[in-house]
Amino acid sequence: MPRTTVGIIGAGPAGLLLSHLLHQQGIDNVVLELRSRDYVERRQRAGILEQDTVDVLRESGAGERMDRHGLEHHGIELRFDRRSHRIDFPSLTGGRSVMVYAQTEVVKDLIARRQQDGGTVLFEAEALSVDGIETDRPSIRYRHEGAEHTLDCEIVVACDGFHGIGRRSVPDDLLTVTERTYPFSWLGILADVPPSCEELIYAHHERGFALHSMRSPEVSRLYLQVAPDDSTDNWPDERIWDELETRFAVDGDWTLRRGPITEKSITPMRSFVAEPMRHGRLFLAGDAAHIVPPTGAKGLNLAVADVTLLAQALTRYHAHRDESLLDAYSENALRRVWRAEHFSYTMTTLLHSDPADSDFDRALRLSHLRYVARSEAASASLAENYVGFKEN
């Protein structure tokens, strides 16, 4: 496999979707993925798709199973002060909504499409170096099935996540890195029990944040704010359910359903942006360039937005040798990235209890929550950012 037009590192949603979109435009490409196919298809991540993400999957022909099994949601529920407040998306955003459909399922759908179309996705292929990115003949050196190979490309796109080789291939002095670490983490669980709600519940409680989500009508996904150095060993199942019940409690008739917990994990909260998202013939997309705390449900959607822009830019380049959209990629992508960073930061600081909070801080947070619940303008701002803010 000596040469291709676009070499893509990473077979998460970003890399696979870019490969699919490029194939539809007649642009040959190869995807290299460090992990096995089984690992990639089981890797639990986001489950909320913005309207634009749903539209891209549908228009590209990769949304058939999503439309059969995804759960369209028209709002979220905020809980605090033992009261519930619904944010209605369609009425506040001109009819837009979100879809609950797990990242694992998006990945399965995209892998199936690439196989169906005869695409080249090499699993257990470790990218060792990205070379020549300041020339017009970059290459990726990789190891696959015990042997080293070199893939020559015209363009390299790194969709290989925060720890991948893509961003590390850019000299440190050419990247500006901005980041924030939050003083808490999320304990996340999957449980074989039908959801206790029809829409996501975001709960603020003096003991910490809680989120009730779902993966299907039979599987619930729930989260608890915990200390950053906490361990799942400290959280037996009964303690998790008791704490969730406490944080979701409202005055009225509502019951948290309990069931067998099949998975537990702890996720740190951080924000991270590396810019620019291009160096020579190397382009960064998704978590390779930016991380958001999951409170705003933006990570997967930002990755999709990145590669949608890149697919458009690469299509123009391939058809006309016009690099104008490639040159504008980083600036265009970062506008959306920073809007999502701000929204995710706002949701995170609004809903979590910071251990360092003073009484003044706690009173401000509750005042902000009450304002969102009572003001149509404040609710509309939250809604339009949640479903995906459109600049045009």
Instruction: Point out the residues that are catalytic.
Output: 73, 202, 294, 298, 386
- Interior/surface letters 88-97, b for 16+ CB within 10 angstroms, e for the rest: ebeebbeebb
Q: How far is CA 341 from CA 36, 231, 262, 270, 384, in A?
A: 31, 27, 31, 10, 14
Give Cα 174 distance to the centre of its chain.
26
Q: Taking the C-alpha atoms of 357, 78, 370 and 302 in order, what is their torsion angle to the nearest 10 degrees?
A: 70
Q: In the beta sheet, which residues pair with residue 139?
A: 131, 152
What's the half-sphere exposure (Cβ side, CA atoms, 13 Å) at 168? 10
**Which residues, listed in sequence order, are joined to residue 81 by a DSSP beta bridge?**
none
CB atoms < 10 A from the CB of 228, how many?
A: 13
Which amino acid would we find at residue 317? Answer: Y
Alpha carbon separation from 218 to 98, 111, 190, 221, 292 (Å, rounded)? 19, 25, 11, 10, 28
Backbone φ, ψ for residue 189 (5° rounding): -130, 150
In 3-state terms the chain splits into helix, strand, coil percentages (rounded to 5) of 40, 30, 30
Give me the amino acid identity at 239. R
Give the span between the Cα atoms of 283 and 155, in whole angstroms: 8
Residue that has been written with the tokens 């955003």 in this structure: 93
Residue 263: strand pairing partners: 190
Q: How far apart are CA 386 and CA 301, in angstroms?
A: 11
Q: What is the Cα–Cα distance from 157 to 155, expressed in whole angstroms?
A: 7
- 293: tokens are 């705390």
Pair 92, 105: CB distance under 8 Å:
no
